[in-house]
Amino acid sequence: MAIVVDVADAIVDLLNSGTWDQAIVAERTYLPRGTLKDGDFESVKVSVVPRNYEPDMITRSMADEDVWVDIGVQKKTDGDVAQIDPLVSLCESIATYMRGRNIGTVNPVSCYESQYSPIFVPDHLEKFGIFTGLVTVKCRTVR
């Protein structure tokens, strides 16, 4: 399996086995997509999407391999701060949880950086009442 798929799957497993302030179900996908009228955003929707792959030769036979994975967190809200704050906390918790974490795949992979940006997407909140937060995790392995 491609390293990007292995890393994304490992992140899905980590998220689904983690303990969070609210129930989440993470899913790996290439095109995170939901339909408002079908209720796709009534519970917290977590989409894990491989974003970037950067191999970098460190010797003639070994390479650093960087994999960036996006973790999208989405939920329908009524726009109230009281409903949005816990979702911001959830995103922040995910970013903190992932940072520095070793994830078990065929090769040791270290998540050396995580970033929570944008904190929310104003357009989604204004037009649909949907909170969208994006955590990007950067992981590295050596092969």
Q: Which residues of the chain form contacts with another protein (CB under 8 A)?
A: 31-37, 39, 41, 47, 49, 70, 72, 74, 76, 78-79, 118, 121-124, 126-130, 132, 134
Indicate the residue among 79 and 108 with the shorter CB distance to another protein: 79
| Smallest separation, CB 60 to another protein (Å) | 36
3-class secondary structure, 79 = coil
* Separation between Cα atoms, residue 84 and residue 93, nearest integer Å: 14
Is residue 24 within 8 A of residue 13, CB to CB? The reply is: no
Smallest Cα–Cα separation from 48: which of 1, 94, 106? Answer: 94
Is residue 71 within 8 A of residue 65, CB to CB? The reply is: no
| Smallest separation, CB 127 to another protein (Å) | 5
* Separation between Cα atoms, residue 138 and residue 8, nearest integer Å: 11
Indicate the residue among 71 and 141 with the shorter CB distance to another protein: 71
| Smallest separation, CB 84 to another protein (Å) | 13
Indicate the residue among 127 and 143 with the shorter CB distance to another protein: 127
